[in-house]
Amino acid sequence: MTKSDRVRVHHILDAAKEAIEFLKDKSRKDLDADRKLSLALVRLLEVIGEAARGISPEFREKHSKIPWKQMMGMRNRLIHGYYDINLDIIWETVTKDLPPLVSQLEKILKKK
């Protein structure tokens, strides 16, 4: 793992953990009611996707079970489709997809 890849993996982990923490003790309705919360989660998902984009192709290939393309695709959708963001998808991503991603990335970092 290059130093650059390690830094970006840490960026992904930090953003994912923060997003998960932001939803601690929150309900789906809270996301609709709290504009600051929804904007914060969108931004953190953008950071995750941008960091994933910076990961080397070799690292992405070596760790092909990580959903690199989906993370980058989410970032692109949020940046370019900012006017039509589905908060159900944001909720699902943060509550269902990020916790296993955090576990996977932590395991990768422990190996190196």
Catalytic residue annotation: 75, 80
List alpha helices for 23-97, DSSP H.
28-33, 35-54, 57-62, 68-80, 87-92
Distances (CA, A) of 78 to 21, 53, 82, 105: 20, 14, 5, 23
What distance separates the 2 farthest-apart alpha carbons in the chain? 42
